[in-house]
Amino acid sequence: MAPINKLIPDHLPHVQDMYKEYFLEYASYVITDRAVPYLLDGLKPVQRRILHSLREMEDGRFHKVANAIGQTMKYHPHGDAAIGDALVNLGQKNLLIDTQGNWGDPVTGDSAAAARYIETKLSKFALEVAFNAATTMWQRSYDGRNLEPVLLPMKFPLVLAQGAEGIAVGLSTKIMPHNFREIIECCIKVLKKEKFTLQPDFPTGGLVDVSGYNDGQSGGRLKVRAKIIQVDDRTLSITEVPYGVTTGQLIESIVTANEKGKIKVKKIEDKTAKDVEITIHLPASSDSEKAVDAMYAFTDCEVSIATNCCVILENKPVFLGVSELLELSVQHTVKLLRMELEIQKKDLQEKWHFKSLERIFIEERIYRKIEVAENWEAIIDIVDKGLRPFRKQFIRDVTPEDIKRLVEIPIRRISRYDANKAQEDLIALEKGIAETEKNLKGLTKYAIAYYENLLTKYGKGRERKTKLKRFTAIDASDVILSNLKVYMDSENGFIGTGVKNGELVGEFSSLDEIIAFKEDGTFCVTKVGEKNFAGNKIVYAAKFDRTDDQTIYNLLYRDGRGGATLVKRFQIGGITRDKQYDLTKGSAQSKLHYLAVQPAGGADKVTVHLVPQPRIKTEIPLNFEDYPVRPRGTQGVLVTKHAVKRVERLGKTTDNQPRLV
């Protein structure tokens, strides 16, 4: 059988070549026409088509979003759902379009109402900076029936104000939003050739660390935090969330961290309405400062955002920093302003030219001479000869079109002609031309004034929302709660997470401390570590809380070898870490008989069994509650001078605290 490629006629393309060609076309389309914004107007194609459609519909009133979507479908080939989502996204940015109705909330994640219920129109800002038919390049729409702009003549760095995000074939873009006022101030600095720095600003507020921003280029990274207020020792309030995180996602991350034991939360209340307000109630034993650090370490109260400033320039993707992007945008704005001034100058000159023709045509009574003309050619010739002596006064040559306009002036207008008013109009036009020429010569100064005007008109209420702050790194191991399993080697005296074949003490955090009692009546407090030496023959170890003023220790011990047995009740109080403390009189070979760790108000009853001897009772009942709580250094009260065989606890207690017998 012949190879498969031999079965394909030579005049047909190979599948491999077709695949390569079609894939490249698809990739190019996705990059340039869907996912990545253009640098010069800061828009993706669907956004540009939406704005163009709204401009066509513009009459000063609000329009149903459903109608705007339908209008846009004349230009955008991807259906109403894509257009609707893009339109809502534009509306939520609160810059180019004004909105009416429920447009959802990106902070809470609430979606907008149906398109038939909400309304929109172009903002005054958009009408001023984004549209000018005379400076717009046009192209045919996808079906060839309509004209649409190749780019909008945007005289503002829109992509830096709104931000942008998109995933294409083989590349992506993630441009941060920046502050409206700061963008304009930086544009002015560019024109003045001054140094500038542009940092992100998010509509959700919060805090941001820009130390790794890298001018927004690929590889840059931001750390963004929620604003957390310590209301009191047991209450935290979140009033601003990180960019890109909804209140629902934030609460879910807190609940998850709590379930995993990384943080301790008693209750969460979401009171968010117009403003964010999430109240977090902490357990009584919590440290609110540590809780804040734990929130940043283990929840979405702190997120890291990778930046990648990619835009379309000259129909291909380029990777820039936000500073270079701003400079290119300013250059483009200056170019557009020059074009507008040149068009304005030409319009003023044309008006002055025709006003001058009109003045001579009427004041020199040339219009009366055409009454005797027999045909149109004669009329043209009469008017042309009448204007010939004055041609040096005109800006350009007189054309047949000019003469036609003169001849078509209504007689009523001629009869009401006011020479003084006409002269005033000419002077005003001359001043306008002179002013335009002045602006063209001083284009940089004119552009600065343009930006200053934007700042004055639209900058109110657009102050920075996100506070710039250098974050102190939070070591997760320093704020994590109860996730380290601590073991103890009772015989050899080692305690820690790395003790092998030991007895489990419990789960701790790396901030916790451990109290360890030894058989000889001494104790010490040590920090959780991998393998700490606390002393030989540990009889009891537990988590130690320096702020605890409730726990009472009940103790029976033997004083020295063959000495008397004493009882004492005490609290630990202030201690120095890793220092050995003696609970006995300090005699050599002292030994613990019994230790009970109990909350305030609780006390054990025990029976002290003595070594049998003639003429003595072998059992001594003892109720710890009969003895007052004394300082830790108190030597204790004598129970018996005879040798103790064992101590037996009587009955059951209501708590689960361990006892040593």
Q: What is the pLDDT of residues 368-379, one digit of tens each?
A: 888 777 788 888
Give the Cα separation of 149 and 140 in Å (integer). 9
Query: How large a percentage of the chain has pLDDT more than 70?
Result: 91
**What is the DSSP annotation of 120-134?**
EEE-HHHHHHS--GG
Q: pLDDT digits over 319-341, tens only?
A: 999 999 999 999 999 999 999 99
The set of residues, in sequence order, having a beta carbon less than 8 Å from that of 615 and lying 6+ positions away, is none
Helix H or strand E segment including 384: helix 376-387
Average pLDDT, the chain: 88
SS3 string, 164-178, reads EEEECCCCEEEECCE
Give the Cα separation of 319 and 414 in Å (integer). 62
Edge-first strand listing for the sheet containing 538-544: 538-544, 513-518, 522-527, 581-582
Instruction: Judge whether 22 counts as a catalytic residue.
Output: no
Q: pLDDT digits over 138-185, tens only?
A: 999 989 999 999 999 999 999 999 999 888 777 889 999 999 999 999
Give the Cα separation of 505 and 661 in Å (integer). 18
- CB count, 10 Å around CB of 441? 9
Question: How many whole angstroms from its chain centre is CA 42?
Answer: 20
Binning the chain into helix, strand and coil, the percentages to the nearest 5 are 35, 25, 40
Identify the bridge partners of residue 318 per DSSP, sorted by sequence position: 311
Q: pLDDT digits over 612-625, tens only?
A: 988 888 899 999 98
Does residue 300 surpass a pLDDT of 60?
yes
Q: pLDDT digits over 78-103, tens only?
A: 889 999 999 999 999 999 999 999 99
pLDDT of residue 385: 85
The 8 Å CB, 24+ separation contacts for 294-297 are 294/257, 294/262, 294/263, 294/479, 294/480, 294/481, 295/226, 295/228, 295/236, 295/254, 295/263, 296/225, 296/228, 296/474, 297/262, 297/474, 297/476, 297/479, 297/480
Query: How large a percentage of the chain has pLDDT more than 90?
Result: 57
Does residue 126 surpass a pLDDT of 90?
yes
Beta strands in 289-433 (DSSP E): 302-306, 310-313, 316-319
Identify the band that residue 581 occupies on the pLDDT scale cut at 50, 70 and 90: very high
Q: Which is catalytic among the residues 117, 142, 557, 581?
A: 117
pLDDT of residue 654: 45
- All structural domains of the chain, each given as residue ranges with its CATH number in brackets, are 43-153 (3.90.199.10), 221-306 (3.30.1360.40), 334-458 (1.10.268), 482-544 (no CATH), 546-661 (no CATH)
Identify the band that residue 650 occupies on the pLDDT scale cut at 50, 70 and 90: confident
Does residue 527 surpass a pLDDT of 70?
yes
pLDDT of residue 30: 65
